[in-house]
Amino acid sequence: MNVSNLFKIAIKALGNNKMRCFLTMLGVIIGVGAVIAMLAIGQGSKNSIKAQISEMGSNMIMIFPGGDTRGGVRQSSDDMQTLKPADYEALLDQSVNIANITPTVNSSGQWVNGNNNYPSQAQGVNTQYLDIRQRKVSEGEMFSENDVKTAAKVCVLGKTLVDNLFPGGTDPIGKVVRFGSIPLTVIGVLDEKGYNTMGQDQDDLALVPYTTVMKRMLAVDYIQGIQASAIDENRTEETIAEITDILRTNHKLRDDQDDNFTIRSMQELAEMINSTSSMMTMLLAAVAGISLLVGGIGIMNIMIVSVTERTREIGLRMSIGATGRDIMTQFLIESILISVTGGLLGILLGAIATWLIKLIANWPVQIDPSSVILSFAVCTLIGIIFGFYPAAKASNLDPIEAIRYE
């Protein structure tokens, strides 16, 4: 018996029951659509994290005050003051793996220029910040080492702040603005970067010498963190070890004492976020997969009904020479056609859903070709698995009894 004839027979049989056929497919369509959309969301967010990380510099290392909080132990305010400018200076002097390094100390407040004001932060950094974060000054210039030394009252503004404080389009360079009560001279404007892949405005930023923030704004002797970049991103591990050594020595920690600072590398962070988002994706895909399973059961259900309904037809086919194998193949083809057609429509639905998600919610999405291939393969498999029992049932019918069936 040739399979192409059985194909014709199966297509014809399905065509006789279009509505039922479509409703049966619907389960698979929704299941596959959901799987595709979920995986697209997962893949999209993974990609955006990756992009974000490389945007920020994958060789970046951040040092925070206080011990490792991953264990969930609460931090006292003392713990938050363990990093001092001396730590930064020690790293600057002693480390061989660090390319650039800056202390960070931020103050929140209101930026004011005459009648215009804008709530934001003053980020206290040194001159190397620009290299670490891969930023540039597009107008004017960055503050100097000397400005840092003297805690000069100067600032470099991001585009968002410029737009809000100088709405008329006046040149901000040389103008004096206030942050809280402190007058600062604008000496530069940062290059425009727009929103990052996580939707943060990268131009809502104002850089001030960290000494200015410490002495004139916050009046503190500690810093909130240190950002550094490793010379070689493949040597992040060694760099972290070196930093740990230098800081422990500097803090005079005994061997039995835990670190009173925390070091995070961008790579580590990336892995952490990645594994979280992978887990999330798997969870979503599993839920979607269950709906696919339900779709498969729907196919089996309808095929069983169909075999019962068409008992006489099966009896007739057998009496004119169809073998059990022919009957089995015909019904298997029918269920595979339902599941594969459903799968193809499901892929289409998934693609449309993904596109809508991107359009409406503006989420980063990406359909991975492997997810399409996977769901297609799963559909074919579902057709075979869930079609097998009804098909076997049909092929085992006794022709005499089947043809008499009312």
Partner 1 sequence: MAKEIIKIENLKRYFKVGDEIVKALRGISFTIYEGEFVTIMGTSGSGKSTLLNTLGCLDTPTSGEYYLDGIAVKGMGKNERARIRNRKIGFIFQNYNLLPKTTALENVELPLLYNSAVSAKERTERAKKCLNEVGLGQRMLHKSNQMSGGQQQRVAIARALVNNPVIILADEATGNLDTRTSFSILTLFQRLYREGKTIIFVTHNPEIALYSSRNITLRDGRIVSDEYNDDIQSAEEVYRNLPVEE
Enumerate the β-bridge partners of residue 227.
62, 102
Binding-site member from 136, 325, 352, 373 for partner 1 (CB under 8 A): 325
How crowded is residue 147: how many other Cβ atoms within 10 Å of its Cβ? Answer: 19
8 binds partner 1 (CB under 8 A): yes
- Smallest distance from the beta carbon of 11 to partner 1, in angstroms? 12
CA neighbor of 390 nearest in space, from 297, 298, 303, 299? 303
317 binds partner 1 (CB under 8 A): yes
CA neighbor of 43 nearest in space, from 345, 369, 381? 369
**Distance of alpha carbon 202 from alpha carbon 80, whole angstroms:** 26
- Binding map of partner 1 across residues 228-267, x = CB under 8 A, - = no contact: ----------------------------------------
12 binds partner 1 (CB under 8 A): yes
First to last CA, the chain: 28
**Distance of alpha carbon 182 from alpha carbon 239, whole angstroms:** 38
Binding-site member from 96, 219, 320, 361 for partner 1 (CB under 8 A): 320
Binding-site member from 254, 321, 360, 369 for partner 1 (CB under 8 A): 321
Binding-site member from 67, 85, 180, 399 for partner 1 (CB under 8 A): 399
* CB burial string 5-34: b at 16+ within 10 A, e below: ebeebbeebbeebeeebeebbebbbbbbbb
Binding-site member from 73, 241, 278, 312 for partner 1 (CB under 8 A): 312
Enumerate the β-bridge partners of residue 140.
188
Question: How many of the chain's residues bind partner 1 (CB under 8 A)?
Answer: 24
Nearer to partner 1, 1 or 220 (CB): 1
Q: What residue type is assigned to position 30 of the chain?
A: I
322 binds partner 1 (CB under 8 A): yes
Nearer to partner 1, 281 or 395 (CB): 395
Q: Give 201's DSSP letter.
A: B
Under rule CB under 8 A, which residues in 326-385 are in contact with partner 1? 326
Under rule CB under 8 A, which residues in 187-226 are in contact with partner 1? none
324 binds partner 1 (CB under 8 A): yes
Nearer to partner 1, 5 or 370 (CB): 5
- What's the half-sphere exposure (Cβ side, CA atoms, 13 Å) at 226? 29
Per CB under 8 A, residues contacting partner 1 are 1-2, 5, 8-9, 12, 16, 312-313, 315-326, 399-400, 403
